[in-house]
Structure 1
């Protein structure tokens, strides 16, 4: 099932927040995974050896010429102010080459696969990223969005989850506490300098924003 991927942010309908989702009804089995395994969140280290794998099926008998572009986003998954030259190496729009026809299936489809970074694209900065996939020469008609993050270890974060909360002890609720070891990284105003989100099983649709870290 395909879901709407662009959401209004803070009551501003003209600003969109991206989510991993298929836009075209022919898109199925969309996955965004780290090369470390499906149990890990779709996050890779800047200049690290791991990579992101995006895969999906496009229902139909024939292979489609597809292209993609990469968008850098802020903490709210809204496009940032950085230009393409500032956040990545490579051309703005790239062609999707890796595909394979289905075999012995009840319904015909073509499977597409994209690995990032690759020989054509690499990242210059950390942050949240979105891949838009669209028919060749039709960038205004995206068929899917795929979200992932690139990190760099500026600080160390220690996190703990506990089922003993102010709301009960049954295990239905969990309390998350964390500590940041900043060493040589200056954090003068935690409420303004930090953007902290808590996610359930890497879900972006219900992530909680910690507005007043102490």
Structure 2
């Protein structure tokens, strides 16, 4: 597979994504600057974390207007996969590719810590290597990772099985204490209706 790693002004975990794809997974990867207008050369796209455009207005609010986002809309409409991590998740929500929004952490503190995620589904391109209920030890580093959606949207996400990862404790129990940012329903990651776009905060 060939991965495109989107880079906006202020993106900072693009090199981490490149290393994981290229050196750990052994797949092809290229950086894609935000003013590109085509993603046709790629099989999958990653929107890394960071502070795109300095998080002015809201995290991801300005990045959604970058030329590459039109290309991303066409890309995912074709059925190819995209994953947004941290700021990438915020950009996906701001652009309407995923529902909801990421608000300031409930306790209004920046959190950089390990978290446990429970895998809720294993029949997606993003989780097929996981076992049902598998716990993942994943660090978080964010100040605005509090996933919010209105009640109707949350019900729909749950009924459709679109919550892919959920914050939990070390035994897999979903608790208030295991939620690092106040996200609704302990949501850590969701997918779109088609199942080919994933946004996750950790």
Per the normalisation by structure 2, the TM-score is: 0.28
User: Larger % of helix: which?
Assistant: 2
Per the normalisation by structure 1, the TM-score is: 0.26
Instruction: Report the structure number with the largest CA radius of gyration.
Output: 1
